[in-house]
Amino acid sequence: MDKSLNDIKDVIQPTYSTRDIMRIDDIIGHRHDLMGRPYTVGCVGLNRVKRTSYINVIIQTLAHIRPIRNFLLTLSNLDEQPPLVRKLSMVVRRMWHAWRFKAHISPHECVQEIVVLSKGRFGLDEEADPFELLVWMLNTLHGMVRKKKTSVVYETVRGEMQVATRKVQDVSQDDMVEDVEATISTMPFLALSLELPPTPLFTNQSTDDEDKQANIPQVALGTLLQRYDGTTMVETNGLVWQYTVTNLPMYIVCHVKRFTKHNMLEKNLTVVNFPVRNVPFGDLLHVRGSTSVTYDLVVNVCHVGHQGKSAVDGAVLTEFEESPFFAYVRQGENSWFRVHDLWVEPVMPQMLFLSDSYIQVWQRN
């Protein structure tokens, strides 16, 4: 084959050696495509196929979880892999390629495979829940690439917790909840769902934007994590639940439950405050043997707008309603980028908590 075609071949189907993987996170600064447009390796914009910003942010998320990314970059015998694994691998390889012809990528083959494989659960014509897609992707990829009973997917993001349940009617007024015999079970988890405090019923009805911002409640990430510290009681459906995390995964996925209805019409606008480095998940969750373990944020998927979907059928959608999800992704040690479909821009770390966080991925130090 003519060696002059090697550049084209590398762009179409990039390959990575072990040495490339070891150095890939050290690539800093801008590169330029053939048109002179700047781009950052790993933080590449994705074309949006109709209303699929929810798919784009999950592709960005998986491309920045290092063990999963490295697995997809070095996967051999691509032609023999299941279609979803092969097409996702190709998108991630192109995102991390250092010598691109264009500053953006079209993930349409991967998107179409998701639509087909999910049997229409995740479609093109309407924005869906990216958290549901993330869980579906993790479980589906695990089933496709696992060896024996494990896979790089579950080894990376799956933790374990102990769940104690008690019947409310078994607790008398004179008894403490802890004194009632509980049914205890151990279960794995792929994400920690964080319940926001209810939206206040009565707020200032001022039309001034600054007054509206002042009325939005705020809560610390550590407060939301108390649900899983082994001491907090949660009562639902006549049962009292008590969650104790017993094993922290390498990467923790947190899901901020902003939407109160399945159709994503009602949204909780509470601001979640969090640091981006050295969050002591081990201390916050009282995990035995992991009290000194800290985590850094690597991905923060956000939702923009006051509700998940247009409440009026046939209404003309705004730009935000057309593409309501975007992601902040970390590149290197402390460089952050906001990736909203094709639009990529650097941001300061202090800007991350100003948006409505929906999915966060934390990496163990």
In the 3-class helix/strand/coil scheme, how is 46-65 assigned residue by residue?
Answer: ECCCCCCHHHHHHHHHHCCC
> What's the pLDDT at 334?
82
* Range 189-194 average pLDDT: 94
Q: Which residue has the higher pLDDT, 273 or 1?
A: 273
Q: Does the pLDDT value for residue 307 go beyond 80?
A: no
- Tell me the pTM: 0.87
Q: How many residues does the chain have?
A: 365
Q: Residue 122 — φ and ψ, nearest 5°?
A: -115, 115
Of the listed ranges 21-35, 207-221, 294-308, the least confidently predicted one is: 207-221
Q: Are strands 45-46 and 104-105 parallel, antiparallel or unpaired?
A: parallel
Summarised one tens digit per residue, pLDDT across range 128-158 is: 999 999 999 999 999 999 888 889 999 999 9
Q: Does the pLDDT value for residue 66 go beyond 90?
A: yes
Distance CA 210, CA 207 (A): 9
Summarised one tens digit per residue, pLDDT across range 219-254 is: 999 999 999 988 888 877 778 888 989 999 999 999
> What's the pLDDT at 336?
92
Q: What is the chain's Cα-based Rg?
A: 22
